[in-house]
Structure 1
Amino acid sequence: MHLIVLPGDGIGPEITEATVSVLEAVSDRFGLGLRLEHDIAGHESLKRHGITVRPELLEKVQAADGLVLGPMSTFDYTDESKGGINPSMFFRKKLDLFANVRPARTYPGVPHPAVEPFDLVVVRENTEGFYADRNMESGGSEMLVTPDVCVSMRRITRECCARIARAAFRIAATRSGRVHAVHKANVLKIGDGMFLEECRKAAADFPGVTMDEYIVDAMAAHLVRAPGKFDVIVTTNMFGDILSDLTAELSGSIGLGGSVNAGTGHAMAQAAHGSAPDIAGQDRANPFSLILSAAQLLGWHAERLGSEAFAGAARAIETAVAEAVQAGEATVDVGGRLGTRETGRAVVRRLTA
């Protein structure tokens, strides 16, 4: 498996270094033959090349089997005419990574605000919705009608609703067999109505999976009250963006939330959090989110190939992270006592023992 590794900005190089060490360890243990090719994007690329993502980098990523993307300072990249392309949005769009899959679970040893332990997955549509870069060929999706009136547009298509629904049902079929479709069709009758129609069609094709439906505000309340009730949550882009952060924090820290952006032919591992420039270079950043995201990337590849070796490697990383967290061999934010580098080494030790 050929992976392109882009360290990113802020804490990105530190957590990427820890993640690479984990990938190398699991590759040796399971005979994966991973080939990791390092390159740059973001501020380092802007400094060297005058652009955050070079055209030839896209070609390189398209030719590879996957991408590991470190956190990017996305708020810094506002003017594409000056080279400020948002790498995260760029790769999601160019590679058609339509499914953002965000597991969230509680870990023994990590204090959390949830009223009970839980283990769920948010499956978020990733290519349309209110996000301007994903619903307009050029220009913005907001219009200032008067100085005091703004109109924002959202694109929803049947094709994108259908494929995210089916992705969620496929995931649920490997878990407890339950899908929860989250919407606002009581108000957004056409767009979210279309989304629900496609979820119901997918349900008919997966008779072993049950589906229920929740209005998004009710789902937020239910997640706070009883997250253990839920398994695979599927929803549109903006609702999924919000609910996946909520569930990650309910688990104890967004630093424990993995995230893979997956399409038909490409996938990208990406930490659920940002670049945290205020702690960059201090050996304090939690690397688990990117490590768990890399495990998801291996799992995605395993499903494509039908490979037990890659599936086993993904499970081994997840187990090693859980054991390290429970042992307190983690960063301070999740109750540990180690720095970034030593936290990565704690996972590697478990993979090589």
Structure 2
Amino acid sequence: MTQDTYRLGVMDGDGIGPEIVPAAVRVVDAAAQELDIEWVPLPVGRTAIDEFGTPLPESTVEALSGVDGWLLGPHDNASYPEPHRSRLNPSGFLRKHFDLFANIRPARAFDGARALVPGTDLVIVRENTQGFYADRNTFAGAGEFMPTPDVAIAHAIFTRESVERIAHEAFRLARQRRRRVTVVHKANVLRLTSGLFLDVCRDVARQYPDVEVGDAHIDAMAAALVRRAPEFDVIVTENMFGDILSDLTAEIAGSLGIAPSVNVSATRGMAQATHGSAPDIAGRDVANPVAMILSAAMLLEWLGERHDDPAPARVAGTIRDAVADTIRGGVTTPDLGGSAGTRAFTDAVVVSIKHMTR
């Protein structure tokens, strides 16, 4: 069912977040002429620590329960004072709290950008709640323990239910793309855990006879992507493997600065750039806002599907076209070999949107 107004939370975060998140908001506002979007600013990160004594105030979490989706800027938890530095970071907490089990991370090479592997156009579908990231796969606590000061142990947890739901996400997405799914695993060594992931994905594949399915070991997949990334379409894998591969595919496509993502459940969606807070370039107007802009577009597309409303998807398409047009026209940030600053690049995208929507 379509709706009149979409309420979207917006959290700038740390480092370059206060530069790239407002850029994304500005681009969405420029493109969303047929949508009524109400932005709900919410505190998170170091500024929240200074004001509320925590990087993720309870008021922020409560407010997120009442919005349609949200944009989360990068966080720099490594710089937080203790005890916040050692606790689950804001992103990890929100993924766990709202059961955002699917992390969708596209990697697309743009014309006019210096891609290491031109023609790359694939999507990493990452299971977001279990696997080898122990801070998210247990009910309480970090999932790590040290029986002695010289021994550290972490749990890796895989359940059939969680693998089934991420596999369905991957196969449904493949039907919208080129109908190919590659399951990435390490079942030759981790026969029970990674083996269960592979077996369940193969079981789900039988429900999608129109989608071609293959599999690859994680180490072999990393090598294959460097040589022949354009051959791959949708890659589904567990939490840590997906995190690693998505950074690799982002650089193959041109830069971490162009790597968007959304974290979703059946009812919640969070737009979040794949990259970190980059404190070394914060405040210098050189950060690439593309990843955050395209993450916002992905959130709009997800909202359109959830509400059976074609308008958000049209806005998302306009944003993606404007970003591609801007890069193709030679306006790029330093990470892509150009000289445009964050604001100048955003200005160019807004101009492109205005030309498209006249």
Provide TM-score, normalisation by structure 1.
0.95
Does 1:33 find its partner at 2:61?
Answer: no
Q: Per the alignment, do residues 82 and 192 of structure 1 end up closer, same or farther by CA in structure 2, a change over 3 Å counting?
A: closer
Q: Distance in 2 between matches of 1:84 and 1:97?
A: 19
CA contact (8 A) 2:54 2:84 kept: no
Shift of 1:75: 2.1
Q: Distance in 1 between matches of 2:188 and 2:177?
A: 29
Deviations 1:300-340 (A, max 9, x none): 11111222211111111111111111112221211222111
Aligned match for 1:21, one of 11, 20, 26: 26
SS at match of 1:133: coil
CA contact (8 A) 1:255 1:288 kept: yes
Shift of 1:145: 4.1
Shift of 1:106: 1.0
The one-letter code sitting in structure 2 at the alignment partner of 1:106 is A
Farther off after superposition, 331-340 or 147-156 = 147-156
Deviations 1:178-228 (A, max 9, x none): 000000111111111211122112211112111101111111111111111
**Pairing of 1:1-353 with structure 2 (within 5 A):** 1-28=6-33, 31-77=34-80, 79-80=82-83, 86-114=89-117, 116-353=118-355
Q: Per the alignment, do residues 255 and 203 of structure 1 end up closer, same or farther by CA in structure 2, a change over 3 Å counting?
A: same
Q: Distance in 2 between matches of 1:240 and 1:83?
A: 23
Structure 1: gaps (5+ residues): none
Q: Per the alignment, do residues 171 and 78 of structure 1 end up closer, same or farther by CA in structure 2, a change over 3 Å counting?
A: farther
CA contact (8 A) 2:64 2:70 kept: yes
Shift of 1:77: 4.5
Q: Distance in 1 between matches of 2:319 and 2:91?
A: 24
SS at match of 1:138: coil
Q: Distance in 2 between matches of 1:79 and 1:141?
A: 20
Q: Distance in 1 between matches of 2:135 and 2:306?
A: 28
Alignment match, 2:3: none
The one-letter code sitting in structure 1 at the alignment partner of 2:62 is E
Q: Distance in 1 between matches of 2:265 and 2:83?
A: 25
CA contact (8 A) 1:325 1:334 kept: no
Deviations 1:262-284 (A, max 9, x none): 11110100011111111111111
SS at match of 1:25: helix
Q: Distance in 2 between matches of 1:76 and 1:313?
A: 36
CA contact (8 A) 1:328 1:335 kept: no
- Identity within the alignment, %: 48
RMSD: 1.6
CA contact (8 A) 1:107 1:251 kept: yes
Length, aligned pairs only: 350
The one-letter code sitting in structure 2 at the alignment partner of 1:99 is A
CA contact (8 A) 1:51 1:85 kept: no
Deviations 1:223-267 (A, max 9, x none): 111111100000000100000000000011010111111111101
Shift of 1:133: 2.0
Provide TM-score, normalisation by structure 2.
0.94
Structure 2: gaps (5+ residues): 1-5
Shift of 1:156: 1.0
CA contact (8 A) 1:50 1:83 kept: no
CA contact (8 A) 2:31 2:319 kept: yes
CA contact (8 A) 2:286 2:333 kept: yes
Q: Distance in 2 between matches of 1:82 and 1:318?
A: 35
SS at match of 1:205: coil
